[in-house]
Structure 1
Amino acid sequence: MKTQQFHWFRIIMNDITEGKKMQDKIEKLGKSTIHHGKFNNRIYLMKLHPENVPEIISGMEELAEENGYSKIFAKIPPEALPDFISNDFSIEAFVPRFYKNKQDCLFVSKFKDDKRKKVPKNELKNFHELLHNSDSGKSKKLKYKHSLKYKLEKLSPEDIPAITEVFSRVFETYPFPVHDPKYILETMDEGETQYFGLKEGSKLIGVSTAEVDISNKNAEMTDFAVLPEYRGQNLAFRLLTKMEQEMKYNNIKTVYTMARLKAPGMNKTFLKSGYQFTGTLLNNTNISGNIESLNIYYKHL
């Protein structure tokens, strides 16, 4: 089925092309939501509508061919898996009870270029050692005596200039335009993205976000950014704890994250917080100027 037979509708990210911070587009393909572009050089099927299976697969294939994308990555329910497997997709990770605390979610990918499939052996070896030596599940408490002097709060529109400043200092590039105040305001107003921060007095020193899917009772814990001079105080752990409390209040049952494979600190934070590792998305996302691999973790609240 040709992509022209789908109804395309761009919902955000209109022509954000400020040099190195140029981002990809979020659009509707049929009734499903995709994120695609040359910045990440891939298609990401963010939300699959059941009416689009199996036609959306050929639609994404054509879009990838037209633009030379080297990877197609999708979050799908189990009933869609046979169609994706039949079209040479493979499972990279999963999250149990992702949809409405009942149905699992599978993270499947197809590589269009063999170079994109290259396994980051050294990074995986280091992560394996971290995973092997982790005391995950034994203790969810971390010491953060010194970090208690910082104020932890949910952020509002008046914090947007400070939010973008923190993101700009921490991430040279990012898969979504977190450097753009208009994007932050739009996502904040929509209500599906909640922003959290740590402040020293009136100065914002750390930010994180929760991408909330109320209807499916899940949330992605993401965008952790702490200014370099304040690291080493378990501030990400404090942010994560606050976010989990807020998610419970919102009746969210499953939380998950995509943590950078090469960032041991964040991986430790999620492991110490009781999250379960289920797989690695190879060479998946453009962060800080490079295409990086991401580890998938989940936790039931």
Structure 2
Amino acid sequence: MKDTSQISENRVISGGDFTMKIRLDYFSERLKVEDYRGNVNSIHKQIQRISNEHSFAKVIVKSRQEDWMTFLSFGYQLEALFQRYFNGNDAYGMAMFLDNSRRTSDYWINEDKTLTQIQELSRTLDVPNTPNYTIRKAVIADAVHLAELYRAVFEIYPTPMNDPSYIQKLIEGDSIFYVAEFEGGIVSAASADINATYHNAELTDCATLQDHRKNGLMKVLIMKLEAELKDRHIFCVYSIARALSFGMNAVFHQRHYTYTGRFTKNCNIFNKLEDMNLWVCDLSRR
């Protein structure tokens, strides 16, 4: 992985008629508005100011249903739909592009063809038997070995998963990790990042060492995460997968997730800025 010491920071920006929670993502040159209240026109003006100040190439806003057309009128585009994100109400993934090269995808048609092939696959909630692997929930002591796994799988990753202290903070916070072990070593992992305010979770940080792929480990890990989320009454689950990855997109399709859009050149991951597919699932209805 590349150095991610200055990868991002979270801020709360407030004015007389608005407040918003944002993430300044320096690593992927984007501004993310994760939450907001108040005057959308004032919010948009602040977005423009902050984006210009940091020379960001893309803005992403999780818009509420009543505001997405206002963002559209300001020049934003609807890229994807987070179904049931806000305690049952949809969030609209609105994007504003500030650089022509960021707006243009180099792989869009190939990604469409891949998506078509994936959606022709049969769906099943059955998972393979994995007798040679130990599947368990991760603990803080696993942070060093998890960092080694992510370092081995990803040359570039949008969060500092090569840093054990960062992973430790995630485990101590609102993230759940499940791992697959082979002969005492972690060879696959996935996490659920829980949003306690809006009762949703993002399935993320999915990684498997090359020699252990095609054994269905990710399906097992995701099943375990889903079961724990349901126990916690978290039913809105989503994942953002590399559009070029047949395997990860196939996993979510087969587990009855719905494709709801694609984010153009969303983030630095794997080895470049990549388009990312959004998959959503309501676990209470599956």
Q: Output the TM-score relative to the length of structure 2.
A: 0.91
Residues 35-83 of structure 1 show CA distances to partners (whole Å, capped at 9, x for unaligned) of: 223320111122x121363422211211111222111012121122133
Deviation of 1:182 (Å):
1.7
1:170 aligns with 2:157: no
CA distance in 2, matches of 1:19, 1:243: 28
2:13 to 29, 37, 48: 29
Alignment of 1:67-216 (within 5 A): 67-100=54-87, 102-119=88-105, 120-136=107-123, 139-142=124-127, 144-145=128-129, 147-190=130-173, 192-216=174-198
Q: Mean alpha-carbon deviation: is it higher for 288-297 or for 148-157?
A: 148-157
Deviation of 1:250 (Å):
0.7
Question: Partner amino acid for 1:283?
Answer: K
Deviation of 1:228 (Å):
1.1
Residue 288 of structure 1: aligned partner = 270
Segments of structure 2 that go 5 or more residues without pairing to the other structure are none
The 8 Å contact of residues 198 and 205 in structure 1, kept in 2 or not, is answered as yes
Residue 209 of structure 2: aligned partner = 227
Residues 179-198 of structure 1 show CA distances to partners (whole Å, capped at 9, x for unaligned) of: 112211222222x1111111
Question: Partner amino acid for 1:105?
Answer: A
Deviation of 1:296 (Å):
0.5
CA distance in 1, matches of 2:197, 2:245: 31
Residue 49 of structure 1: aligned partner = 36
Residue 231 of structure 2: aligned partner = 249
The ranges of structure 1 where at least 4 consecutive aligned residues each deviate by more than 6 angstroms after the TM superposition are none
Question: Partner amino acid for 1:182?
Answer: S
Deviation of 1:176 (Å):
1.1
Deviation of 1:141 (Å):
2.4
Residues 224-264 of structure 1 show CA distances to partners (whole Å, capped at 9, x for unaligned) of: 01111111101111111000001001100110010110110
Any idea what SS the aligned residue of 1:149 has?
coil
The 8 Å contact of residues 260 and 294 in structure 1, kept in 2 or not, is answered as yes
Question: Partner amino acid for 1:290?
Answer: K
Q: Output the TM-score relative to the length of structure 1.
A: 0.86
1:239 to 194, 199, 221: 221
Deviation of 1:122 (Å):
4.0
CA distance in 2, matches of 1:93, 1:76: 11
User: What value does the CA root-mean-square deviation take over the aligned residues?
Assistant: 1.8
Residue 276 of structure 1: aligned partner = 258
Segments of structure 1 that go 5 or more residues without pairing to the other structure are 1-17
CA distance in 2, matches of 1:108, 1:96: 14
CA distance in 2, matches of 1:97, 1:125: 25
CA distance in 1, matches of 2:264, 2:59: 11
Deviation of 1:24 (Å):
2.2
